[in-house]
A and B are shown apart, each in its own frame.
Chain A
Amino acid sequence: MEAAVQALPKRRTQGWAVVAEQELRDLWLGGRGLLLGLGFSVLLSIIAYLTATNQALNFLEQRESVNVTLQVAIAVGSLLALLAAADAISGERERSTLESLLLAPVSRLDLTGGKLAAALSLWLAAFVITIPYVWFLGRGVDLVGDALLVGFFVGTLLAVFLASLGIVISVFASSNRVSLSLSLFLLLAVFTPTQLPSSAQKGWAGEFLLRVNPLTAGEHYVGKIIVNGHSWSEDASWLISPIVAAPTFLALAGFVGARYIRLGRRAAE
């Protein structure tokens, strides 16, 4: 019994790793991940080229151009993780491969963990692709190290939050189309405050909206470090919502994955 209890965590870790390995193979050796990475690099190339050469944008300071590039990288990298996660369960269900997956000798929690790890690999790849652009734009102003560190930290929190949200949606969605549409809709909803006029972002209500939304709060924090040169602790209160959202949604994804993954379309029933 004692041996069985001791073996359980080991088996769980292995199950998680096996699923993650298989998912990573499908994603990266299957070519889907590389294609997404290629599209991401084209987007960053356009932004980096415009900020560096366009006369209309050239008033931007180097710090601001690094900030713009890094914020786009964080937003789009998180979006990639969200889309991969939104396809994780509903996609398997729609391709009729969920049954064989559920018959595999791994727990549903392991299954969810492995899928989530694979989705997060897209964010990691996006971050690696971002490094040369940030280095190029930020060289000479002693900014590259801080920008990459804060970008990785905040981006990982946001990617974990969004990928976990994608898993939750995917478990309950009746079809893959619904899962992807709902995920995109939610992503647009959390991005909406960034499009509000600056006057609407001021005042206690505007600031509260920015602070409570993990995406806007995280990007605001990145901007303060990079553009304003603040220390990491100076605006740490802006990190509250990303730091709360990432583990909360991670736990929610684990709970939902372990309890509610069903073969049928109406998963929640």
Chain B
Amino acid sequence: MSPRRAGACFAAAAAVALALVGAASAAADDVSVIVHQSRIDTRLGENIVFRAEFANHGSTATGALIAHLNVLSLRQGVEVDPEDWSTHRTRYLGTIAPGATRTITWKVHAINKGRIALYVAVLPQAGDNRPPAIGRTVQLVVAGRDTLNAGGILPLALGVPALLGLITGGMQFARRRR
């Protein structure tokens, strides 16, 4: 066997081994994250509900699971603080019986305008090193809007202090004259 051929065989064997390990860990998990939405359109400042289903396809109950919602901007330069978007992002699911599903909803507050990605990862609470199961990415498109009518604020913001300033000045002036 030539060295090149031996290398190719070794690479193939390694790939098969890796695939088998992956299949074994997936079989151990047998949990999938199902997200029905692929895109949500909303407006700045509004709340949306993000829903994910966690299904156990295995024949035994899962261990205790944790689901975590992630929020990130798809546009570079837009800073997203996930805490602002959703306050209870980590949920402790407990165990899921074989063939059962569990649905979790997150309330998400649209803080920035732009294209935002939401996705959920679920991992065992035991903390072993298997990769988490991840649901599909949902694109949240947040349109900008002005929620407040700024027209007329300037006269009010200047007018009230000016009026009080005039009264104060007038009182001081009258007192000095007296």
Contact = CB atoms under 8 A, between A and B. Distances in A.
Q: Are both chains from one complex? A: yes
B171 A58 contact: no
A65 interface: yes
Contacts of B175: 29, 31
B49 interface: no
For B147, B150, B160, B168, which residue has the most chain A Cβ atoms within 10 angstroms?
A: B160
Interface residues of A, number: 29
Interface string A25-68: 00001010011011001101110110111000011111001000
B158 A59 contact: no
A3 B10 CA distance: 115
Interface residues of A, dominant DSSP = helix
Interface in B148-167: 148-150, 152-154, 156-158, 160-161, 164-165, 167
Contact of A31 (B45, B147, B172): B172
A39 B64 CA distance: 57
Interface in B38-83: 44-45, 83
A52 B149 contact: yes
B92 to A, nearest CB: 15
Contacts of A60: 45, 147-148
B96 interface: no
Interface stretch (A7-15, A93-101, A128-136): A128-136
A198 B150 contact: no
B153 A53 contact: yes
Interface in A55-93: 58-62, 65
Interface of A: 29, 31, 34-35, 37-38, 41-42, 44-46, 48-49, 51-53, 58-62, 65, 129, 132-133, 136-137, 140, 198
Interface of B: 44-45, 83, 87, 110-111, 146-150, 152-154, 156-158, 160-161, 164-165, 167-168, 171-172, 175
Given A41-B160, A49-B157, 7 more contacts: A29-B175, A31-B171, A37-B164, A45-B158, A58-B44, A59-B147, A133-B160
28 contacts: A29-B171, A34-B164, A34-B167, A34-B171, A37-B164, A38-B164, A38-B165, A41-B161, A48-B153, A49-B153, A53-B148, A53-B150, A58-B44, A58-B146, A58-B148, A59-B110, A59-B111, A60-B147, A62-B147, A62-B148, A65-B148, A129-B160, A132-B160, A133-B160, A136-B153, A136-B156, A137-B148, A198-B87
